[in-house]
Amino acid sequence: MSHTSLCYLNGKFLPLEEASISVLDRGFIFGDGIYEVIPAYGGNLFRLDEHLQRLNNSLQAIHLKNPLSNAEWATLLSTLVEKNNHGDQSVYLQLTRGVAKREHSFPAETSATVFAMSSPMPAAKTTLATEGVHAISLDDIRWRYCHIKTIALLPNILLRQQAVENEAVEAILIREGKVTEGAASNVFVVKDGVIKTPPKSECLLPGITRDLIVELAIKNQLACKEIEIDESELLSADEIWLSSSIKEILPVTQLNEKSVADGVPGPVWKNMQTIFQNYKQSLRDGIEASRVK
């Protein structure tokens, strides 16, 4: 690590290397917790209200009370970003059901473990716009509450690993013949100029980047539909994109070792990429995003 990174744990800011939790933490024992990943561009937290709303939804879904108000979260996270003054950052925050004797059902008195850290945002691949990335499609082996951003990510990890072992960056998941999402991203396809992404449901995480892409498409009068996507449409798409807070928008140029259309990032991705990067720049500049197209 080039410099010390400060994190937040249960009310205190401290160096990451000094932060530790009990081995009885239910996050460690059961994966009983939820998380968020929030980018910060030029010190501005990206779509914070949306991330906090999703955080609250995840907490509600696992019956864990949010120990902080949205205003307290905003202060905590912007303090963390300020203290780790390393340009564009990705903030990771996690809450677990806390420390208790190992027993599956909830402990009578829960005091959540609250943890947040920040890392420099990884730079995009320099060949992204010329070569794109490779993906594979796999059966979606996950549970039926994929809208909860749970820290219990073993299925996602196994799927992503299988992709990596096949020289791909992501696994695109198929449940009952329909595209759901990636192991850690949302999926878009483009066919005949129309951008499509699966509608929100319990089969996928409602990605903040996904929602922004839909919003930007509408603002810029690009045809965009939230609609179920058959596996066959994925295989015959003109373009495939992956989206996430860390990866932003990746053009997939090879799927299952076959070229997607002519095997280079497509024109609709290029257009959306420009729109997205301009939006981000407006945040870095501290300009109200709503004033910029």
Binding site for ligand PDD (CB under 6 A): 37, 156, 181, 184-186, 205, 207-210, 243-246
Minimal distance, residue 53 CB to ligand PDD, in Å: 11
Minimal distance, residue 132 CB to ligand PDD, in Å: 18
**CA-CA distance, 115 to 67, in Å (whole number)?**
12
Nearest CB to ligand PDD, comparing residues 5 and 186: 186
Minimal distance, residue 109 CB to ligand PDD, in Å: 30
To which H or E segment does residue 179 belong? strand 178-182
Annotated catalytic residue within 101, 125, 149, 247: 149
Alpha helices in the chain (DSSP H): 26-30, 48-61, 70-83, 128-131, 154-165, 208-219, 231-235, 267-284
Task: Give Cα separations from 153 to 87, 103, 135, 278 (angstroms).
Answer: 28, 20, 19, 33
Nearest CB to ligand PDD, comparing residues 110 and 243: 243
Q: In angstroms, how far is CA 214 from the centroid of its own chain?
A: 15
Structure tokens, 3: 């410099």
Minimal distance, residue 111 CB to ligand PDD, in Å: 25
Nearest CB to ligand PDD, comparing residues 110 and 209: 209
Nearest CB to ligand PDD, comparing residues 36 and 239: 36
**CA-CA distance, 209 to 46, in Å (whole number)?**
10
Contact 46/276 with Cβ under 8 angstroms? Answer: no
Active site residue 149: yes
**CA-CA distance, 97 to 111, in Å (whole number)?**
7
Minimal distance, residue 46 CB to ligand PDD, in Å: 10
- The angle, 0 to 180 degrees and rounded to 10, between the axes of the packed helices 48-61 and 70-83 is 120
Nearest CB to ligand PDD, comparing residues 198 and 266: 198
CA atoms within 13 A on the CB side of 210: 21
Nearest by Cα to 256 from 244, 269, 240, 279: 240
Nearest CB to ligand PDD, comparing residues 93 and 184: 184
Minimal distance, residue 241 CB to ligand PDD, in Å: 12
Q: Which residues are catalytic?
A: 149
